[in-house]
């Protein structure tokens, strides 16, 4: 049953994958945390962070981890969990891959048509809204701590603000921001007293 649930869930997520992995984060969180309970909110935010540091698209990385975790949580062994990871990863790709092949064939002949340009303009704005919603869904107590001037809250807020400033305003490469954030976070939390 878990394999069918994984297939249908990630097939559905892949079907509405406009704008890439960031735009699908809110939907993935809703499905895997809220609806199916395959992982906690903390686990989800951890895997989003890890997905940023590993090669590959974030949506596929999260699907792979979720497939593995869901099958293990259902009581199956590691080889079947690997199959669950592969199933979730492929399921999230089936519809976008098929649609891209179809759209490429159609758009290569009609990309200058007025109605096609209108649809693409609307999709661009929609994707921006979906990415903003995904970003807002990561602004949680699990990521920032409580605003009671705890070390986690201060560190997280400062790293968040500095990252936005340097990446957006100073055009610093996001990889540098990720590296510095990881080092600062590692130093702060390795010397911080345990909660």
Which of these, 30, 4, 27, lies nearest to 16 by C-alpha position? 27
Backbone angles phi, psi at 36, to 5 degrees: -100, -20
Q: Which residue has the tokens 């007293």?
A: 193
pLDDT by residue (tens digit) across 93-104? 999 889 888 888
Give the pTM: 0.62
Higher pLDDT, 61 or 191: 61
C-alpha to C-alpha distance for 71 and 77, rounded to whole angstroms: 8
pLDDT over 80 (residue 18): no
Which of these, 127, 87, 121, lies nearest to 7 by C-alpha position? 87
């Amino acid at each position: 049953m878990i394999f069918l649930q994984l297939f249908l869930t990630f097939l559905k997520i892949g079907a509405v994958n406009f704008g890439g992995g960031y735009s699908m984060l809110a939907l993935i969180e809703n499905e895997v945390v809220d609806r199916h309970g395959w992982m906690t909110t903390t686990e989800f935010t951890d895997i989003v962070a890890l997905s940023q540091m590993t090669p590959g698209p974030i949506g596929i990385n999260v699907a792979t981890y979720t497939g593995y975790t869901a099958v293990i949580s259902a009581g199956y062994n590691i080889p079947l969990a690997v199959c669950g990871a592969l199933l979730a990863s492929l399921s999230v790709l089936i519809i976008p891959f098929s649609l891209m092949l179809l759209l490429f064939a159609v758009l290569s002949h009609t990309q200058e048509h007025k109605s096609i340009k209108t649809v693409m303009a609307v999709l661009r704005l929609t994707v921006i809204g979906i990415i903003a919603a995904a970003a807002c869904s990561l602004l949680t107590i699990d990521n920032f701590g409580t605003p009671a001037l705890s070390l986690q809250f201060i560190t997280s807020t400062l790293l968040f603000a500095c990252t936005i400033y340097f990446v957006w305003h100073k055009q610093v490469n996001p990889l540098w921001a990720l590296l510095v954030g990881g080092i600062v976070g590692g130093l702060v939390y390795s010397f911080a007293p345990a909660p």
